């Protein structure tokens, strides 16, 4: 088997590992929130049981082609995001298909799945689906601003859009991490990440107490299983991306787990401490302080670090 074949196999293995890791993170978040609220919560294996159950079901309901393509686009966005991110720096096979300029490609994949999901859920006919989609797109447009500013800032700082080269530039020690060299861009990106993860206080799309889990209301059987799979893969992919861009990447799996777990705990702690915002509050939040901090990080990279 040639190098390309081995890389494909290792990429598939990476998808499985990150999917399992993402499911465990989701279960940990649910368990933590339950404990904070005085409940027992779900067992850690519950997400695996749910996915197996949903993939084993079939449906005869028809809502139109785009309705069924929505979960496909959503899963494609999650897989595409992970496939073009180097998971282990310096590894020949766990670098996936990282290429020059892959940071822009990854950003497109991040938002591709959300837009595809919006088109799919809008055909369901359920009033809760478009409500959740409208909220999700509004929040996405808001947190995109500080996230894009942070990405532009580090692209200026390192003079590249290659994630691998950005990680390589941070290998001089812990003080070489973007977290220390440009903390303004990192803070803006981490605040944007809270909106990407859609945990409290930014869980306005799922909002189970208000619009019974939003867009997935109409999805069931294997289609719901695809959404659950994407949620796990996408969660892990975002953590690996943030680790590479801002925290020096990882040269082995123990370091990867340690760093991504620490980044994930930001969402867990904020979600446990704050109640859910209203949609208009989330938009105002992201367009205020995170955007201002992102602009400062951009100017800092342009006029101080260059």
The domain segmentation of the chain, as residue ranges, is 3-305
Q: Mind listing the pLDDT tens digit for each residue in 112-167?
A: 877 777 777 777 777 777 777 788 888 888 999 999 999 999 999 999 888 989 99
- Position 32 confidence tier, pLDDT thresholds 50, 70, 90: confident
| Of the listed ranges 30-39, 141-150, 203-212, 292-301, the one predicted with least confidence | 203-212
% the chain with pLDDT above 90 = 31
Give me the long-range contacts of 272-280 (CB less than 8 A, separation at least 24): 272/32, 272/33, 272/36, 272/200, 274/200, 274/201, 275/200, 275/201, 276/200, 276/201, 276/202, 276/203, 276/204, 276/207, 277/201, 277/202, 277/204, 278/204, 279/135, 279/138, 279/139, 279/204
Residue 211: what pLDDT?
Answer: 52
Residue 139: what pLDDT?
Answer: 87
pLDDT, the chain, mean? 85
Does the pLDDT at position 243 exceed 70?
yes
Residue 3: what pLDDT?
Answer: 72
**Token pair belonging to 165:** 């080269």
Residue 114: what pLDDT?
Answer: 77
Mean pLDDT in residue range 35-50:
87
Does the pLDDT at position 101 exceed 70?
no
Residue 273: what pLDDT?
Answer: 83
% the chain with pLDDT above 70 = 93
Does the pLDDT at position 31 exceed 60?
yes
Exposed/middle/buried for residue 140 (C-beta within 10 Å: 0-12, 13-18, 19+):
buried
For 45, 60, 82, 126, 270, the CA distances from 22, given in Å and listed in that order, are: 12, 30, 12, 29, 19
- Position 212 confidence tier, pLDDT thresholds 50, 70, 90: low
- Position 214 confidence tier, pLDDT thresholds 50, 70, 90: low
- Which of the two residues, 153 and 7, has the higher pLDDT score? 153
Mean pLDDT in residue range 17-27:
91
Residue 145: what pLDDT?
Answer: 92
Residue 202: what pLDDT?
Answer: 86
- DSSP E strands in 10-157: the ranges are none
Does the pLDDT at position 267 exceed 60?
yes
- Position 285 confidence tier, pLDDT thresholds 50, 70, 90: very high
Residue 220: what pLDDT?
Answer: 78
Residue 38: what pLDDT?
Answer: 84
| Of the listed ranges 91-95, 105-109, 242-246, the one predicted with least confidence | 91-95
Residue 305: what pLDDT?
Answer: 64
- Position 210 confidence tier, pLDDT thresholds 50, 70, 90: low
Give me the long-range contacts of 1-8 (CB less than 8 A, separation at least 24): 6/93, 7/92, 7/93, 7/96, 7/97
- Which of the two residues, 286 and 127, has the higher pLDDT score? 286
Does the pLDDT at position 48 exceed 70?
yes
Residue 271: what pLDDT?
Answer: 83
Non-local CB neighbours of 255 within 8 Å, separated by 6+ positions: none
């Amino acid at each position: 088997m040639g190098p390309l074949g081995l890389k494909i196999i290792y990429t598939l293995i990476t998808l499985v590992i990150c999917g399992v890791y993402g499911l465990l993170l989701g279960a940990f978040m649910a368990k933590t929130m339950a404990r904070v609220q005085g409940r027992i919560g779900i067992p850690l294996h519950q997400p695996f049981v749910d996915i197996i159950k949903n993939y084993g079901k079939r449906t005869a309901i028809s809502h139109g082609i785009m309705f069924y393509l929505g979960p496909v686009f959503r899963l494609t966005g999650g897989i595409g995001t992970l496939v073009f991110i180097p998971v282990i720096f310096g590894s020949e096979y766990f670098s996936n298909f990282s290429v020059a300029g892959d940071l822009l490609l990854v950003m497109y994949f991040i938002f591709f799945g959300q837009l595809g999901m919006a088109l799919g859920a809008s055909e369901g006919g359920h009033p809760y689906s478009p409500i959740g989609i409208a909220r999700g797109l509004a929040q996405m447009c808001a947190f995109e601003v500080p996230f894009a500013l942070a990405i532009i800032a580090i692209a200026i700082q390192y003079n590249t859009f290659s994630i691998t080269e950005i990680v390589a530039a941070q290998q001089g020690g812990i003080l070489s991490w973007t977290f220390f060299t440009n903390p303004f861009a990192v803070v803006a990106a981490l605040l944007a990440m809270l909106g990407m993860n859609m945990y409290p206080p930014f869980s306005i799309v799922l909002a189970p107490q208000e619009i019974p889990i939003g867009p997935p209301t109409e999805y069931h059987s294997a289609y719901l299983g695809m959404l659950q799979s994407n949620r796990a893969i996408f969660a892990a992919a975002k953590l690996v991306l943030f680790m590479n861009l801002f925290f020096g990447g990882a040269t082995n799996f123990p370091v990867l787990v340690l760093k991504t777990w620490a980044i994930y705990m930001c969402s867990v702690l904020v979600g446990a401490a704050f109640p859910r915002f209203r949609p208009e509050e989330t938009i105002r939040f992201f367009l205020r302080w995170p955007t201002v901090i992102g602009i400062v990080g951009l100017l800092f990279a342009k006029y101080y670090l260059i």
